[in-house]
Amino acid sequence: MINKFIFLSLVLFIFASCEVSPKPINYGSDGCHFCSMTIVDRQHAAQIVTKKGKVFKFDAVECMLNHMKDIDTVEVALYFCNYYEQPGELIAAQEATYLISENIPSPMGEYLTAFDNMEAATAAKEENGGELYSWNELLKHMNN
């Protein structure tokens, strides 16, 4: 009976530890997986979660995109980024609209900012200038 309990506990622990979901970013103490800078900017941070549940945190979307060049993206289950209007809140990166504008600095100097919808991104573009990108357009742009 005890052996069954230990076995079930171990199985539950293994499945719980491989949960595929984002993890909170501890701003001011977590380091960027790509550049090793401390993540402090709540408007530009990003995160990758692998299919095995491993989380990689980044201080900027551009660090996440650069890291993607070095890995097999087939192993990635989820991509997240902070969005400009709600600092510290993560959204699915594929659903964001991105603005590259020299009037909105980002931690790594790419001037790349995520917005949770096209309307907010368009309003920011009208105020700050720049170019808008979908996730797929951004991937193509950053790989050129």
Helices vs strands, H then E, count in the chain? 4, 7
pLDDT tens digits, one per residue of 12-60: 444 555 689 999 999 999 999 999 999 999 999 999 999 999 999 999 9
pTM over 0.95? The answer is no
Report residue 95 as tokens.
Answer: 């659903």
Closest CA to 67 of 48, 82, 44, 40: 48
Query: Which run of H or of E encompasses 116?
Result: none
Contact criterion met (CB below 8 Å) for 84 and 120:
yes
**Contact yes or no for 27/88 (Cβ under 8 A):** yes
